[in-house]
Structure 1
Amino acid sequence: MIRSMQVTDSPDVLALLHWMDAAPEREVFAPSARDGQELQLDCEDSTCLVDAGEDGVVAYCAIAPFRDGMVLEGPLSESGQVAGLLKKALEQAEGLPVYAFCSRENTPVRDALEAAGLTPMHSTAFYTAPLSHFKETDVPDGYALTNALSIADYRALYRAAEDAWAGRLDWTPEQFDAHFAREDVKLVALTRNGKPAGFAELEFHPDDAHAEVTYLAVHPAERGQKLGRALLNLAAAEAARHPELRTLRTRAHDHMKAARTLYSHLGLRHSRSVVTYLLEGDEEA
């Protein structure tokens, strides 16, 4: 029976989340919570549904606000039988676009998403390497290293380097300042003649001892100078200043061939790939 999730369902839903964690090929976008109290907080802004039988919850799916529409959490089921639950969750979108994310190897969920009308947009490859793997590097000749950019320079480089990052362009100056004031965020940027040439943006995750390169950008006019390699090494050196961090992680969409080649040449290991799906919204809604 498909119904709204109840508090008493939390142990079964958490069991599904831990089941997902046990194998990378089961990955879908899901609540970050891994205990009951956190799960209740995570579900406050979501419409959470379960498929429940006599033995408890056998599948979970939720839908929540995201970007210009909604995002699916799940669907999750050990049996792979999620079509009915997925259909019910999509009805909650009320004509808005719906995004979904799942492992490239998660064939049962990918088949269900595509059968429900969602279209694969692109895949994102994730890479990792120990911080000890990276070599110390000097700032390239003719460039200067800085840990801060003005919002105007950041936006200009952001816009020139990668159009898929459009969400950052909507930040107010207050949001920009607040983001880079965070202790777990660091910017490593190169400038030439006072103009931004590229940057690597880092987020620190001491709980599992890794730093993540959330964005790596090189201005098109500066490409071919091995700045991507320099920025990645400089970012690794910045992360290595924090003894609680051991690993560097980064990612690249499938159209970012230069970034993928760079990560492979530098010896980062490909750990997994996630496919982004979209169900187009109803323009009349």
Structure 2
Amino acid sequence: MIRPLQATDAPDVLALLSWMDDAPEREVFAPDARDEHELRSECEDRVCLVAEGLDGAVQAYCGLAPFRDGLVLEGPLGEGDLPGLVARALERAEGLPVYAFAARDNLAAREALETCGFTPMHTTDFYAARVADLARHARVPEGYAVTDHLAPAAYRALYRAAEDAWAERLDWTDAELQAHFARDDVRLVALTRQGQPVGFAELELNAAEARADLTYLAVHPAERGQRLGRVLLALAAAEAAAHPELRTLRARAHDHARPARALYAHAGLTHCRSVVTYLRDDTEGEA
């Protein structure tokens, strides 16, 4: 039976989240909460469904949360009739685009998503290495300087020149950009030449996981071919090394981003996981 999540289901959903955490191949987009109070708060005012087995025990979870221009599917997480659970959640999507994310090796979840009309958009590969191994190569090339700040207009210009598809950042206001880089867990490492920015790397520091995430790396097209990507990677690692609790640096690249994938491989990062991004958009083709 598929029904709305109840407060008394929190322990069962937390058990499903723990089950997912224990095996990378079960990964899907899921609630961040890992205790009952946080889970109830996170699921408040959201579409959250569970599937019961014949014995009445919760077998699977699925939900919808606001995301970008539409919604994101949480799950499907668990076992049993996953396509049926996803289909019931989609009935509550109100025609909005719905994104979903699943580990490449999570075949059960991916089959459920594709059965329900989700289309794979791309695969994101994640790479990791020890911070200390990368940081020891940090240097600023002759003729360049490093800074931890860029004016919003300069940031946007370089971001736009990098021709990346992650274009929603271009819609941020000056205040939103400044607030982002003022966060305690965010760092910017930018290279300039003759006072002009030529590339930057962004980090998010995750002390709880002892990890720094390289969320973005950009080099101006006119400056490519000079190994500045590897320079920025090492400088970002040196920034992470200033925080002794951070031991691992993790980077990501979409399947079409061949230069980034080559950069990480040549720098000694090891592939550690892959996540497939899906979209179901019933609005496509509408006038």
TM-score, with length taken from structure 2:
0.96
Looking at structure 2, the residues matched to 128 and 136 of structure 1 have their Cα atoms a distance apart, in angstroms, of 16
User: Which residue matches 1:172?
Assistant: 173
Amino acid at match of 1:238: E
Establish whether residue 76 from structure 1 lines up as the match of residue 81 from structure 2: no
User: Which residue matches 1:22?
Assistant: 22
Looking at structure 1, the residues matched to 56 and 4 of structure 2 have their Cα atoms a distance apart, in angstroms, of 17
Looking at structure 2, the residues matched to 17 and 31 of structure 1 have their Cα atoms a distance apart, in angstroms, of 8
SS class of match (1:159): helix
SS class of match (2:166): helix
* CA RMSD after TM alignment: 1.3
Structure 2: give runs of 5+ residues left out of the alignment.
none
Shift of 1:162: 3.9
Shift of 1:45: 4.5
SS class of match (1:164): coil
Shift of 1:36: 0.5
Amino acid at match of 1:224: G
Amino acid at match of 1:144: A
**Is contact 1:104-1:275 (8 Å) kept?**
yes
**Is contact 1:16-1:78 (8 Å) kept?**
no
**Identity value in percent:** 66
Shift of 1:130: 0.9
Shift of 1:132: 1.6
User: Which residue matches 1:55?
Assistant: 56
Report the count of equivalent residues. Answer: 284
Structure 1: give runs of 5+ residues left out of the alignment.
none
**Is contact 2:139-2:234 (8 Å) kept?**
no
Moved >3 Å (runs of 4+): none
Looking at structure 1, the residues matched to 76 and 117 of structure 2 have their Cα atoms a distance apart, in angstroms, of 15
User: Which residue matches 1:225?
Assistant: 226
Looking at structure 1, the residues matched to 59 and 23 of structure 2 have their Cα atoms a distance apart, in angstroms, of 18
Matches within 5 A, 1:4-15: 4-15=4-15
SS class of match (1:163): coil
**Is contact 1:124-1:274 (8 Å) kept?**
yes
Looking at structure 2, the residues matched to 78 and 127 of structure 1 have their Cα atoms a distance apart, in angstroms, of 29
Amino acid at match of 1:209: A
Establish whether residue 155 from structure 1 lines up as the match of residue 156 from structure 2: yes
Shift of 1:40: 1.1
Matches within 5 A, 1:29-48: 29-48=29-48
User: Which residue matches 2:121?
Assistant: 121
Looking at structure 2, the residues matched to 51 and 138 of structure 1 have their Cα atoms a distance apart, in angstroms, of 54
